[in-house]
């Protein structure tokens, strides 16, 4: 019996990028969602009033960051149902074998890992920003922490939406696979009879 090992995340990520280049365009690899999220975080840091940073309205600043942390936790919790459905679909018998045969299984696993990672980063960044408001840190460090938390949160929301889309695409693909498999089975039964 041959022991099979799941490919490492980085190797699968690089293979996914290569697949994107082979079937798409080079522009598909530009991380415009990450850049856009970073721009949102930077813009918000510039637009927030000075009282958010100097500690005179610490209660408001802490409430805002606690709300962002809670929001990120809710997004992660909601995405777990989509993650579960994706795992259920890609792990289903013949469909799983079909995905492995065409070297697609690891790409779906990388996708879910990437989305999950983005959401965990958002929670960690929000937690750090919340504590940075209380700690005796320089203002620019606090601004950087809050900007990073907002940017990570925006990207996590985008990845949550992508997870939902991937789940729907997989449901559709599996239904087509099942229909094709059923038609082949019917032809095989007809040929025997």
91 in any annotated domain: yes
Q: Structural domain tally of the chain?
A: 1
- Look at residue 7 and tell me if it is in a domain: no
Let me know if residue 109 belongs to a domain: yes
pTM: 0.81
Whether 124 is in a domain gets the answer yes
Q: Are 62 and 130 a contacting pair, CB within 8 Å? A: yes
Domain interval for residue 166 = 55-177
Spatial CB neighbours of 62, under 8 Å, sequence gap ≥ 6:
130, 133, 134
The tens place of each residue's pLDDT in the chain, 193 residues long, gives 455 676 676 776 767 766 776 667 667 667 788 999 999 999 999 999 988 888 888 889 999 999 999 999 999 998 888 888 898 988 888 888 888 888 788 888 888 999 999 999 999 999 999 999 888 889 999 999 999 999 999 999 999 999 988 888 888 888 888 888 877 777 776 666 5
Unique residue bearing structure tokens 């579960």? 84
- Does residue 121 sit within a domain? yes
Tell me if 21 is assigned to some domain: no
In a domain, 62, yes or no: yes
The answer to whether position 11 is within a domain reads no
């Amino acid at each position: 019996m041959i022991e099979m090992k799941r490919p490492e995340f980085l190797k699968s990520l690089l293979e996914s990028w290569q697949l994107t280049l082979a079937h798409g365009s080079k522009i598909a690899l530009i991380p415009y969602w990450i850049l856009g999220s970073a721009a949102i975080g930077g813009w918000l840091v510039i637009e927030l009033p000075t009282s958010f940073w100097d500690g005179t309205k610490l209660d408001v600043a802490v409430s805002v960051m606690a709300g962002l942390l809670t929001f990120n936790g809710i997004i992660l919790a909601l995405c777990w149902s989509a993650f579960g459905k994706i795992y259920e679909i890609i792990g289903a018998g013949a469909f799983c074998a079909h995905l492995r045969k065409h070297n697609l299984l690891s790409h779906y696993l990388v996708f879910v890992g990437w989305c999950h990672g983005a959401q965990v980063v958002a929670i960690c960044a929000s937690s750090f920003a919340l504590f940075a408001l209380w700690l005796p840190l320089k203002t620019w460090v606090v601004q950087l922490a809050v900007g990073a938390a907002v940017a990570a949160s925006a990207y996590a929301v985008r990845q949550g939406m992508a997870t939902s889309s991937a789940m729907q695409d997989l449901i559709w693909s599996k239904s087509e696979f099942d229909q094709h498999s059923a038609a082949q089975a019917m032809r095989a039964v007809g040929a025997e009879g």
